[in-house]
Amino acid sequence: MKSTYTEAYQKLLVEIVAARKASGMTQAELAAGLGRPQSYVSKIETGERRVDVVELVEIAKRINLDVSSVLERLKG
């Protein structure tokens, strides 16, 4: 199952977007920190591009997102 449309994956995206906004970062600022174009972040946040675990960890570091807490919430 590699869909970005599963309920759990959509919850993950909500967590990523909320954490980015809470950190005060724009998509462009996050993308610059990752060495990627703004469209990279946009595609992740809209579900057009699936994020892998290594990318998630890199994104989480920059937006102060606790990955283990997110994963716990997704389990429930």
Domain annotation for the chain: domains and CATH numbers: 7-71 (1.10.260.40)
* Residue 2 banded pLDDT, cuts 50, 70, 90: low
Give residue 57's pLDDT.
Answer: 97
Rounded Cα distance, 42 and 39, in Å: 5
Q: Do residues 51 and 15 lie in contact, with contact meaning Cβ atoms separated by under 8 Å? A: no
**What are the pLDDT digits (tens) for 5-31?**
899 999 999 999 999 999 999 999 999
**Mean pLDDT, residues 38-53:** 96
Rounded Cα distance, 44 and 8, in Å: 15
Count CB atoms within 10 A of the CB of residue 18.
12
